[in-house]
Structure 1
Amino acid sequence: MQKETGATAPSDSATLSEARRVEREAFQEGWRASASTIPAVFAWGIVSGMAMVKSGMSIFQSLGMSLLVYAGSAQFAVLPLLAVGTPLLVVFFTAMIVNLRFVIFSAAVAPHFEHLPWYRRIWYGFFNGDISMAFFPQRFPNHTVGQPAGKIGFFAAICYPGWVAWQLGATIGILLASQIPESWNIGFAGTLALIAIMIPMTNNLPALVGVVVSGTVAVLALHFPYRLGLLAAMVMGMAAALTVDKFLPVRDKDDEDGEVAT
Structure 2
Amino acid sequence: MTALFAIAPVSMLFGFTAYKADWSIGEIFLVSLLGFSGSGQFAALPLSSSGATFLTILFVSVMINSRYFAISLSCSKKLPPNKLLKIFSSHTLGDEAYAIEQGHNQRAMLIIRFTIFGCWILFGVTGGIVAGLFPNLLPDGINASIPASLVLLFLAISYLKNRPYKSGLITVPKAILGFIVSGFLYYTLGAVYFWIPSVVLLSATYYLLKSRD
TM range (shorter): 0.5 to 0.7
Please say which structure displays the higher CA radius of gyration: 1
Q: 1:106 to 1:198 in 2, by over 3 A?
A: closer
Give the C-alpha shift of residue 90 in structure 1: 1.4
Q: Quote the residue 2:98 is aligned against.
A: 133
Q: Quote the residue 1:198 is aligned against.
A: 156
Please give the alpha-carbon distance, in whole angstroms, between the structure 2 residues aligned to 1:83 and 1:225.
24
Q: Quote the residue 2:130 is aligned against.
A: 176
- 1:109-124 → structure 2 map (5 Å cutoff): 109-113=75-79, 116-124=81-89
Sequence identity, in percent? 22
SS in 1 for 2:52: coil
Q: Which runs of 5+ in 1 are unaligned?
A: 1-34, 141-149, 211-223, 243-262
**How well do the aligned residues superpose, as a CA RMSD in angstroms?**
3.4
Q: Quote the residue 1:79 is aligned against.
A: 45
- Asked whether the 8 Å contact 1:40–1:194 carries over to 2, the reply is no
- Asked whether the 8 Å contact 1:46–1:173 carries over to 2, the reply is yes
- 1:101-112 → structure 2 map (5 Å cutoff): 101-112=67-78
Q: 1:106 to 1:83 in 2, by over 3 A?
A: same
Give the C-alpha shift of residue 57 in structure 1: 1.6
Matched residue type, 2:78: H
Q: Quote the residue 2:211 is aligned against.
A: none
Give the C-alpha shift of residue 56 in structure 1: 2.4
Please give the alpha-carbon distance, in whole angstroms, between the structure 1 residues aligned to 2:145 and 2:126.
14
Give the C-alpha shift of residue 184 in structure 1: 8.5
* Pair 1:158-2:112 in alignment: yes
Matched residue type, 2:32: S
1:33-55 superposed Cα distances (whole Å, 9 cap, x missing partner): xx211111111111110221122
Please give the alpha-carbon distance, in whole angstroms, between the structure 2 residues aligned to 1:73 and 1:87.
19
Please give the alpha-carbon distance, in whole angstroms, between the structure 2 residues aligned to 1:86 and 1:118.
35
SS in 1 for 2:75: helix
1:72-110 superposed Cα distances (whole Å, 9 cap, x missing partner): 111111221122221222111111100011101111121
Give the C-alpha shift of residue 66 in structure 1: 2.3
Q: Quote the residue 1:258 is aligned against.
A: none
SS in 2 for 1:116: coil
The structure with more helix, counted as a fraction of residues? 1
TM-score (norm 1): 0.55
Q: Which runs of 5+ in 2 are unaligned?
A: 176-189, 207-213
Give the C-alpha shift of residue 191 in structure 1: 4.1
- Asked whether the 8 Å contact 1:45–1:167 carries over to 2, the reply is yes
- 1:1-262 → structure 2 map (5 Å cutoff): 35-113=1-79, 116-136=81-101, 138-139=102-103, 150-151=105-106, 153-177=107-131, 178-182=135-139, 188-189=146-147, 191-203=149-161
